[in-house]
Structure 1
Amino acid sequence: MGVKVEVFRMILYLTFPVAMFWISNQAEWFENDVIQCKRELWPPDKRQELEEFKERIRKQREERLLRAA
């Protein structure tokens, strides 16, 4: 009986991490859940505002460098 229990435990110890790795690396899960969450946090209109802000800052830095030169 002891060997059967040990074999079962070894199978369980090996199967559980492999199964969790396989489940967590499913592309469909990533696309459906993670990307959807990202879109909720940063909607496209906010991304546009962020890009405009970055462009304004870049122009201001360029103007400062031109004035300094």
Structure 2
Amino acid sequence: MGTWHLEVMKMALYMTFPVGLFYYFNRPEIFEEHVTKKRREIMPLPNIEAMEYYKKAIEEARKRKEVKWEDELAKLDNK
């Protein structure tokens, strides 16, 4: 068995080791470049022209659907 000095040293190690690892691995400058690169591979930046085309197409589809609903409501009102 060790003396109380050994127990204090062990307790200090048990407490500082996880805290030190937490501090080291939670600093963004360590992994920021890797994460940003992987994110760009998985989700590339959107193409602005394509996004505008899709927005216009969605808006046109909504307008056609609204016109169709209005025609159907007008038919129901006339009956």
**Normalising by the residue count of structure 2, what TM-score does the alignment of the two structures yield?**
0.55
Tell me the equivalent position of 1:62: 62
Shift of the 4–34 alpha-carbon distance from structure 1 to 2, 3 Å rule, reads same
Q: What is the alpha-carbon root mean square deviation over aligned residues?
A: 2.9
Taking every aligned residue pair, what percent have the same amino acid on both sides? 28
Alignment of 1:1-69 (within 5 A): 1-44=2-45, 47-48=46-47, 52=51, 55=55, 58-59=58-59, 62-63=62-63, 64=65, 66-67=66-67, 68-69=69-70
Q: Which amino acid aligns with 2:10?
A: R
Change (3 A) 1:18 1:60: farther
TM-score, normalised relative to structure 1? 0.60
The answer for unaligned runs of 5 or more in structure 1 is none
- Structure number, greater radius of gyration: 2
Query: What amino acid is the match of 1:39?
Result: R
Query: Is the alpha carbon distance of 1:2 and 1:32 closer, same or farther for their aligned partners in structure 2, counting shifts above 3 Å?
Result: same
Runs of 4+ in structure 1 over 3 Å off: none
